[in-house]
Chain A
């Protein structure tokens, strides 16, 4: 499957990705709708931090998914075709188990609607909304192999002391 990756060095922390995600998962179609909708639509990405600083973070659709195993309502399942972990809001009881076990903190709880929410990889569209919204290309779509190849190429350039390597290292988070 194709994952959403983050090039932390390109991220400006504008978080356009969060806005576009909330909009893509709202009932309306523009910023005004987004502001007026109640309960407020939730971005399915989160402003995460590690020792390097802030970056946008979303569901990694893990293997042996802790959220899927912990869900007491069997509301989280893996789509056999896309590999995406999906939350069935009709089954979710908002118990918070998935929030307790997600090692990335990539699941949120909608307190008004009492359901859990997370990145669905915009499975119905060609390119996820967050990637389309990113002005610097810090977010991009690719397989794990493609991401790893990019990282290795950058590292090679850096070893050779070439520009394009040194200041553009891809520091995505580990899966």
Chain B
């Protein structure tokens, strides 16, 4: 058996470990366009804020690849795939054959088409390389603009703030975290960030990036003609799955479509992580839930199935946990009512910035938002997953959630 894994982040690493737990002998070959060993992309903002060193970002011990007997191809971009012949084509012209393949190629930041977005000083934050480039340019005391108020945008803005910059966040939606959180919860987090010195322009579009004579970004122009001077811009307008190299041989919708065993439409070829469109438990539909916990769990299940098991993947969930200088916010599943069959319960303590919101569809818990009131909320996540009718909904609203009943 010859295993191939494209991707070396959460999904890839957990998959390789899962394969090796079952199959100690067969070849595993791993491709990544990254130059070095696996690190945590989620920690790039922590690196930026000087919270963790580059070494601390590595998610496995130095001997990981040797101990698991993995043939590593660092710095190798996969440019093509022949699912019929079972062959991978690399940028350098090499071809490698496989019997079982995991596509865990991740996702890339979206760059909106705005005049001047290619200017020097405009970045996205996805890789350690991006983080290093930003850190080199980000001068304490200087001004930064972050486009987008999603989890990545806010984490980046907060890191630049800790780094000593004056940070302004610009987003098109009227609230921060619009994709993952309701208005009231988002409002609490925004107030907290404003208290820490962050500024917000919500409901604004960026029309243009102005540059200095040398070509570096000098200001951002908004659609009401406001100009925000800055020496650095970070764009956090979402991500798109890396499916370009797959050609037309696969079923690609919002992401690479997989079945309940995480196998693609091509037998023996699996997908996991930010590239994969999986079954979403809360919405009971197909979605790309591109967060670390989903990627790792998918990697584990895909790896086991590649090695001959027949394990069902129970499904993914929108899962986000954020921490900003003492404020903790967790959201899972659906955060807003999507129709009349939804029921929302809320408990808000504005002064303490404590908030819990539960979203039910009929008798099922399908999502929650917790700001600062996070003790034991994993039991709520488990309830979303379990899909057992909730008898006493009010009880879940306060304190440590009941484990059953």
Contact = CB atoms under 8 A, between A and B. Distances in A.
Q: Do A and B come from one complex?
A: yes
Interface of A: 46-51, 57, 64, 66, 69-70, 72-74, 91, 93-109, 111, 114, 173
Interface centre among B326, B376, B385, B400 (most CB of A within 10 A): B376
Given A100-B332, A103-B378, A93 B52 contact: yes
B323 A95 contact: yes
Interface in B4-55: 14, 40, 42-43, 46, 51-52
Contacts of A100: 293, 319, 321, 330, 332, 374, 377-378, 381
Given A99-B374, A102-B378, A105-B378, A50 B321 contact: no
B323 A96 contact: yes
B42 A74 contact: no
Nearest 7 CB-CB pairings of A with B:
A105-B376, A51-B405, A103-B382, A72-B42, A102-B378, A70-B293, A69-B296
11 contacts: A49-B400, A49-B402, A64-B297, A70-B293, A72-B42, A73-B43, A95-B42, A97-B293, A100-B332, A101-B381, A102-B378
B355 to A, nearest CB: 15
Contacts of A64: 297, 300
B296 A99 contact: no
Given A74-B58, A95-B321, A106-B378, 17 more contacts: A46-B400, A50-B402, A51-B405, A57-B403, A69-B14, A69-B297, A70-B293, A74-B40, A94-B323, A97-B292, A97-B293, A99-B377, A100-B321, A101-B381, A103-B378, A103-B382, A105-B375
Contacts of B323: 93-96, 114
A162 to B, nearest CB: 29
Contacts of B127: none
Nearest to B368: A100
Contacts of B376: 46, 48, 99, 105
Contact of A96 (B60, B321, B400): B321
Contacts of B292: 70, 72, 97
B352 interface: no
B173 interface: no
A99 B330 contact: yes
Interface of B: 14, 40, 42-43, 46, 51-52, 56, 58-60, 292-293, 296-297, 300, 319, 321-323, 326, 328, 330, 332, 374-379, 381-382, 385, 400-405
A47 B323 CA distance: 25
B378 A111 contact: no
Contacts of A114: 323
B59 A74 contact: yes
A61 to B, nearest CB: 15
A70 B42 CA distance: 11
A69 B293 contact: yes
Contacts of A69: 14, 293, 296-297, 300
Contacts of A97: 292-293, 319, 321
Contacts of B400: 46-49, 105
Contacts of B379: 102-105
A109 B293 contact: no
Nearest to A70: B293
A98 B378 CA distance: 8
Given A50-B403, A72-B292, A93-B52, A107 B378 contact: yes
A69 B296 CA distance: 6
Contact of B321 (A73, A74, A99, A106): A99
Contacts of B296: 69-70
A72 B330 CA distance: 15
Contact of A72 (B40, B60, B326, B375): B40
A109 B42 contact: no
A64 B304 CA distance: 12
Nearest to A72: B42
Given A46-B400, A48-B376, A102-B378, A93 B51 contact: yes
Contacts of A96: 321-323, 328, 330, 374
A74 B46 CA distance: 14
Contacts of A101: 293, 319, 378, 381
A167 B300 CA distance: 43
A73 B40 contact: yes
A51 B404 contact: yes
Nearest to B331: A100
B378 A104 contact: yes
Contact of A108 (B330, B332, B375): B375
Contacts of B330: 96, 99-100
Contact of A50 (B51, B297, B404): B404
A50 B404 CA distance: 5
Contacts of A111: 326, 328
Contacts of A73: 40, 42-43, 52, 56, 59
A69 B297 CA distance: 6
